[in-house]
Amino acid sequence: MHTSRSLSISAFAVAAGLTGVSFSADLVEPGGTAAATHQATFAKDEFGWQLFFYVNQQARADKAGVPDDSKTSFAQYDSDKPVVWETWALATGGELAGAENVSEVFKSPATKPVAWEELVRPERQKILAPSLKSSPLITLQPGALRNLAAGTLQAELAPHANIAGFDETRMNRITYDTIRDKDLYSLEGLDRAYAAAEATGNPMIVDFEQSAKEVKARWVRIDQKNECNPDGADLDTAKQRYHWRTLTGADAAGQPEVQTWGLVSLHIITKDLPNWFWVDFGHVDCVDVPPDSGDAVAPVDTTTRGPNATAGANGVRNEARGTKWENYVMHGTQVAFTDALGKDTILSNPVIERQNQNSSCITCHARAAVAPQASNLPPGPSIPLFLGKVGSISPGASFIDVGTPEPVFESGGQRYRQIDFLWSIPFRAYSETGN
């Protein structure tokens, strides 16, 4: 234990950004206040860390999204136990073709998700799915997920040497409740929301509340070689250096096998700013993973780097020292399409956005948009997803789209409306009839 509750300042003070670097278990989720917006604007990196500390506290096993208050801080934890974000509602899990759709939000056929209190905790076991964004088998095309259901992904369910990591995307309660209450979990619901937005001339079909949050995590097996440890690492040592979880998977012969997975990347976004607040963290072992194209980008964190760092050094926060969390660095924060000079901002994770680290979270996500189902061209009942710049060759928002997005949201004669930066909604929603 490295910090104690006696050092703590009140949750209100943390939320208000009134503190320096003191830290304790913050049992109140940061965000959703005017003070949080102020901090997200003027002390971005500090706000990013406050989010990191909160969501990575050990969670209560029996409830969704509640910190375990028997722990005095995020620096105190038991092995192989979920942290807070791991108990939020699971958005992923629907892409396992041929297997049960275990998404808690996007079911197939689409049905209303259960009330938050009825989310089953503890979960049976951790569910990880191949990353749709980086799988070599998948291009980000309209209806990608449903096309996959036809079977492409089946082959990937067994451990697959070419798929380095698996993703987990989850949402907090307010995001979940908004998707649930506004029926945004189904294609039909999205059509209704589109029609309502069209009737009032609103370019956005939903506007999430300020305390909305989502995370996207990448896990890799630490009990074997992986892209961050190409030579492999001793498992006992790795377990000291990673937030890790075990799950029962299948070995190459299809036999049950206990596997140990380590957290290597964590995207966190909150609606504390109108175009969301974007922050990325990653394991220090992965900082130097070479990008597929373009240059690697050095982490930026004013709280721990440079001569004016007040809360740590060399990327390590004081609060995390001596714990597994000291191995996680902030790659940076992003709060706008461009900076004060008018220069495009970039932010990426070396593993998740490995295709090109000079990419921009906020720009790609601004393109998340939908058109009515009925407008779709064959083959299927899918909402076109990756609306590219009009006239560009690629049909989607891509890793080369940075800066202010093209304001034109038309393609194929269709008018698209934004879905408030959340890609998983148009990407993952199924029809109520099962498509």
Q: Which residues bind ligand HEC (CB under 6 A)?
A: 132-133, 169, 214-216, 267, 269, 278, 280, 347-349, 353, 359-361, 364-365, 397-399, 422-424, 427-428
Nearest to 250 by CA among 163, 156, 162: 156
**Shortest distance, CB of residue 224 to ligand HEC, whole angstroms?**
24
**Shortest distance, CB of residue 140 to ligand HEC, whole angstroms?**
6
Instruction: Work out the burial of residue 330: count CB atoms within 10 Å of its CB; fewer than 13 is exposed, 13-18 middle, 19 or more buried.
Output: buried
**Shortest distance, CB of residue 79 to ligand HEC, whole angstroms?**
26
**Shortest distance, CB of residue 306 to ligand HEC, whole angstroms?**
21
> Rounded distance, CA 89 to CA 353, Å?
23
Residue 334, CA atoms < 13 Å, CB-side half-sphere: 32
**Shortest distance, CB of residue 333 to ligand HEC, whole angstroms?**
9
Is the CB of 50 or the CB of 424 nearer to ligand HEC?
424
**Shortest distance, CB of residue 119 to ligand HEC, whole angstroms?**
18
> Rounded distance, CA 148 to CA 200, Å?
35
Amino acid identity for residue 261 in this structure: W
Contacts of 237 (CB under 8 A, 6+ apart): none
Burial 185-223 (b: 16+ CB within 10 A, else e): bbbbbbbbbbeebeeeeeeebbebebbbbbbbbbbbbbb
Residue 364, CA atoms < 13 Å, CB-side half-sphere: 21
**Shortest distance, CB of residue 296 to ligand HEC, whole angstroms?**
14
> Rounded distance, CA 266 to CA 268, Å?
6
**Shortest distance, CB of residue 270 to ligand HEC, whole angstroms?**
9
Instruction: Work out the burial of residue 115: count CB atoms within 10 Å of its CB; fewer than 13 is exposed, 13-18 middle, 19 or more buried.
Output: exposed
Is the CB of 280 or the CB of 326 nearer to ligand HEC?
280
> Rounded distance, CA 118 to CA 363, Å?
35
Is the CB of 283 or the CB of 428 nearer to ligand HEC?
428
343 vs 58, 232, 337, 338, CA distance in Å?
Answer: 39, 40, 8, 5
**Shortest distance, CB of residue 21 to ligand HEC, whole angstroms?**
24
55 vs 185, 225, 269, 289, CA distance in Å?
Answer: 24, 28, 11, 25
